[in-house]
A and B are shown apart, each in its own frame.
Chain A
Amino acid sequence: MRTALVTDIHGNREALTAVLADVAARGCDRIAVLGDIVGYGPDPDFCVDAVAGLVAAGSLCVQGNHDAAIGEGGEGMSRNARVAIDWTRGRLTAAQAEFLAGLPLTAMLGEALLVHASAEAPGDWLYVTSDARAAGALRATGARLVFCGHVHVPALYAADRAGMVREQRIKIGVALPLLLSRRWLAVVGSVGQPRDRNPAAGYAIWDEAAAELTFRRVAYDCGKTALKVRAAGLPEALALRLLGGD
């Protein structure tokens, strides 16, 4: 069973379309969405409908902080994120907002826990950016595998048999073994707003039978999305960062 792990779409229609085309070409059996369907990007309605369609077809989807902010207001967010959320709220129908509000914070898929941020406190939206944070997230669950997003930079952490957690070197496009002897936490890269200086849309493929994870990048027309961000009157920084992936 091959699962495409898709996260942090952030209202980026072009990136999502490119990723879904790549997912189809790579022969995945199912798709799991790790949250943040909206926010920052110019096409939240398209992206919510696309994900709702996937969920209706049986996909799992968990809630991200931007999805939650549509209904809750968005305290504690950065200024640009807040501006974008307020703009997004006006673009969504009541049904779409309800879909986002109704998403669960976590979900189990086989031996993997799906969560948007840290499994330690899913609603606190902690960033898993260090060995210590990864260790905390792994401690909070009994699942052998944890897949999350939120950071927008792909990363892989392994806990050895003594419980020591270390970040592992990853290479894009290579099937990395999720050794059965260890526990693993993967931070999946962002579809709609990558922040590792590579503007290509990120996602990952988890092959359950082979116990392998492949981080992938898909080029898309980020210039087109950036122009849409600008045309929508959203903050200019949100357009520019799509071009540089930063």
Chain B
Amino acid sequence: MRRPYSGMEIDGFTLGERLHQGGFATIWAVTHALHRTALVMKVPTILDGYDGPTIVGFEVEQMIMPRLTGVHVPKVCGVGGFDDMPYIVMEAVAGGALVERFGQPWTLSDLVETAARMAGAVHDLHVQGVAHLDLKPGNILQRATGEMVLIDFGLARHDDLPDLLAEEFTIPMGTYPYIAPEQFLRQRDDLRSDIFALGAMIYEMAVGHAPFGVPETLKGARRRLWRDPVPPRSIRPDLPEWVQEVILRALEVDPSRRYQTAAQLLFDLQHPGQVVLTARGRKLRADEVWVVWRRWWRMRRVHRFAPPVSHGEVMERAPILLVAVDLSPDGEALAPRLMLWVRRMLSLQPDSRIAVVNVIKSAVLGLDQTTDDAGENLHVVRLVALRAWGAGLDLAEAQLTFSVLESSDPAAAIIDHAAQMRADHILMGARGHSTTRRYLGSVSAHVVAEAACSVTVIRNPAIPNSAIREPAVADTR
């Protein structure tokens, strides 16, 4: 097996400068005649003899990375086998490493925006059936355009592929400051472990240090099974309660009490005013000794948490449903039927989150009136009307959010909003048929054609008119 050096040629790639020397791998700048963009090569540092963990981790990466797509993972251009020299060549991500910005508290707006980007990236990975299982600031890069890129898939698990690490090692695998309790118990089958790691990173962004410190021993890392982190607001009093609520919910010990998907975490970060506060968000002190002791007593015999049936099941169980409500007189006629369908969806998927949306159509050019003739703010008027609409659903506050968007193109506004919150399904009404709509295209047709998720269009049944042919009457003569 060869070892990498500057100037080496392998499979058409030419190694340049060594960019990074890590514990388990080196990163090299490489060029290839057929690739114009900047590339890097990752080569595992394999010790003499058999170096099991490094090899298996690299095999996992070689297996999973080429199967990933999207802006949130580096694009893979080539892999090399162990017969000559194992490597992965991927696009060089221009931008910064997130880890360089860790170490001190972040400003609130920066924290919320970055956390939302991180959650979005993790969700896009989860959608592909992959749990990262080693999320930490060092494994996240940010593109110059802002998107987060997840790297280092050596501990990842793909729901559809063999898990080479499953029985390989007897110690918990992960990075201690960010490892989830169930991962510590050697469960590798839960996407929600990544939610915990996200929570730990957002905690660190809020106060400047990780929630469980930097444990160096197994025993130290195990404490998180019973010892709750110090509430961030006791360290940083200006942190809003809703941010603490979000962080501590992501850091729940039992995976079933966390956010069930990264999209739900993202959703809360995008709707701060509508996060439902519990004692979690308000508390200013870590739990009392006797509470912790009781937890320790319970946890000392816990060997695993109830696992999800599959990654897919977790993703499907808690979908985000965007309901576009038309508050105009036309839409009123459809409201009961739209409501009926939302209820039907809820009876199938009771854990859905419902985002009720209304769009104020603004003029393409010129100043818009944001107040009506009586001087009332149009946004507020619409929001009140939306809330009244949503009250008919009789849902817990935590399951419902309301947003009023403003756009000259209502369809585009709905499509963008759905993409931003990673909605799973859009439900909207279609107004009746008219010639103008047939030629200019309706809002619902536009949404159906271009939305990234499923769309259901609700219609009131059309009354047959003369244009529809009556069934022929049998000729009995």
Residues of A whose CB lies within 8 Å of any CB of B are 156, 158, 160-162, 166, 168-171, 174, 176-177, 179-182
Given contacts A161-B50, A162-B50, contact A181 B59 (CB under 8 A): yes
Residue from A158, A161, A180, A181 within 8 A of B162 (CB atoms): A158
Q: Which 9 A-B pairs have the closest CB atoms?
A: A168-B162, A180-B81, A181-B82, A174-B160, A171-B160, A177-B63, A162-B50, A169-B162, A181-B59
The answer to whether B164 and A158 have CB atoms under 8 Å apart is yes
Does B214 reach chain A (CB closer than 8 Å)?
Answer: no
Given contacts A161-B50, A161-B82, A166-B167, contact A177 B56 (CB under 8 A): no
Contact partners of A171 in chain B: CB under 8 A: 160-161
B40 smallest CB distance to A (angstroms):
21
Can you spell out 9 A-B residue pairs with CB atoms less than 8 angstroms apart? A158-B164, A160-B164, A166-B167, A169-B161, A176-B161, A176-B162, A177-B161, A179-B59, A182-B59
Does B97 reach chain A (CB closer than 8 Å)?
Answer: no
B172 smallest CB distance to A (angstroms):
20
Main secondary structure on chain A at its contact with chain B? loop
The answer to whether A180 and B82 have CB atoms under 8 Å apart is yes
Contact partners of A170 in chain B: CB under 8 A: 162
Q: How far is the CA of A220 from the CA of B166 in the complex (A)?
A: 35
Identify the closest chain A residue to B58 (Cβ): A181
Q: How far is the CA of A162 from the CA of B50 in the complex (A)?
A: 7
Q: How far is the CA of A156 from the CA of B162 in the complex (A)?
A: 9
The answer to whether A161 and B55 have CB atoms under 8 Å apart is yes
Does B147 reach chain A (CB closer than 8 Å)?
Answer: no
The answer to whether A179 and B50 have CB atoms under 8 Å apart is no
Contact partners of A158 in chain B: CB under 8 A: 162, 164
Which range holds the interface residue count of chain B?
A: 10 to 19
Q: How far is the CA of A182 from the CA of B162 in the complex (A)?
A: 13
Contact partners of B372 in chain A: CB under 8 A: none
The answer to whether B160 and A179 have CB atoms under 8 Å apart is no
Identify the closest chain B residue to A172 (Cβ): B160
Q: How far is the CA of A174 from the CA of B55 in the complex (A)?
A: 24
Q: How far is the CA of A161 from the CA of B53 in the complex (A)?
A: 11
Extra 13 A-B pairs, beta carbons < 8 Å, given A156-B162, A160-B55, A176-B162: A158-B162, A160-B56, A161-B50, A162-B50, A162-B52, A168-B164, A171-B160, A177-B63, A179-B59, A179-B63, A180-B81, A180-B82, A181-B86
Interface residues of B in 147-201 (CB under 8 A from A): 160-164, 166-167
Contact partners of B166 in chain A: CB under 8 A: 169
Does B216 reach chain A (CB closer than 8 Å)?
Answer: no
B247 smallest CB distance to A (angstroms):
34
Contact partners of B50 in chain A: CB under 8 A: 161-162
Contact partners of A162 in chain B: CB under 8 A: 50, 52
Does B62 reach chain A (CB closer than 8 Å)?
Answer: yes
Q: How far is the CA of A169 from the CA of B129 in the complex (A)?
A: 15
Given contacts A161-B82, A162-B50, contact A181 B55 (CB under 8 A): yes
Interface residues of B in 82-97 (CB under 8 A from A): 82-83, 86
Q: How far is the CA of A160 from the CA of B86 in the complex (A)?
A: 15
A111 smallest CB distance to B (angstroms):
12
Contact partners of B83 in chain A: CB under 8 A: 180
Contact partners of A176 in chain B: CB under 8 A: 161-162
Interface residues of B in 80-138 (CB under 8 A from A): 81-83, 86
Q: How far is the CA of A193 from the CA of B81 in the complex (A)?
A: 38
Q: How far is the CA of A170 from the CA of B162 in the complex (A)?
A: 6
Contact partners of A180 in chain B: CB under 8 A: 81-83
Q: How far is the CA of A161 from the CA of B86 in the complex (A)?
A: 13
Interface residues of B in 428-450 (CB under 8 A from A): none
Identify the closest chain B residue to A211 (Cβ): B81
Contact partners of B162 in chain A: CB under 8 A: 156, 158, 168-170, 176
A138 smallest CB distance to B (angstroms):
16
Contact partners of A181 in chain B: CB under 8 A: 55, 59, 62, 81-82, 86
Residue from B59, B82, B86, B163 within 8 A of A169 (CB atoms): B163
A173 smallest CB distance to B (angstroms):
9
Identify the closest chain A residue to B55 (Cβ): A161
Q: How far is the CA of A170 from the CA of B160 in the complex (A)?
A: 7
Q: How far is the CA of A158 from the CA of B461 in the complex (A)?
A: 57
Contact partners of A161 in chain B: CB under 8 A: 50, 55, 82
Contact partners of A182 in chain B: CB under 8 A: 59
Contact partners of B59 in chain A: CB under 8 A: 179, 181-182
Identify the closest chain B residue to A184 (Cβ): B162
Contact partners of B81 in chain A: CB under 8 A: 180-181
Q: How far is the CA of A181 from the CA of B85 in the complex (A)?
A: 11
Of B81, B161, B167, most buried by chain A (CB within 10 Å of CB) is B161
Q: Mark B58-89, 1 if CB is under 8 A from A, else 0.
A: 01001100000000000000000111001000
Q: How far is the CA of A170 from the CA of B63 in the complex (A)?
A: 14
Contact partners of A179 in chain B: CB under 8 A: 59, 62-63
B98 smallest CB distance to A (angstroms):
30
Contact partners of B161 in chain A: CB under 8 A: 169, 171, 174, 176-177
A53 smallest CB distance to B (angstroms):
35
Contact partners of A168 in chain B: CB under 8 A: 162-164
Contact partners of B63 in chain A: CB under 8 A: 177, 179
Q: How far is the CA of A166 from the CA of B56 in the complex (A)?
A: 13
Identify the closest chain B residue to A168 (Cβ): B162
Q: How far is the CA of A162 from the CA of B164 in the complex (A)?
A: 13
Identify the closest chain A residue to B163 (Cβ): A169
Q: How far is the CA of A156 from the CA of B82 in the complex (A)?
A: 21
Contact partners of B82 in chain A: CB under 8 A: 161, 180-181
Q: How far is the CA of A182 from the CA of B55 in the complex (A)?
A: 11
Identify the closest chain A residue to B56 (Cβ): A160
Identify the closest chain B residue to A182 (Cβ): B59
Q: How far is the CA of A91 from the CA of B43 in the complex (A)?
A: 60
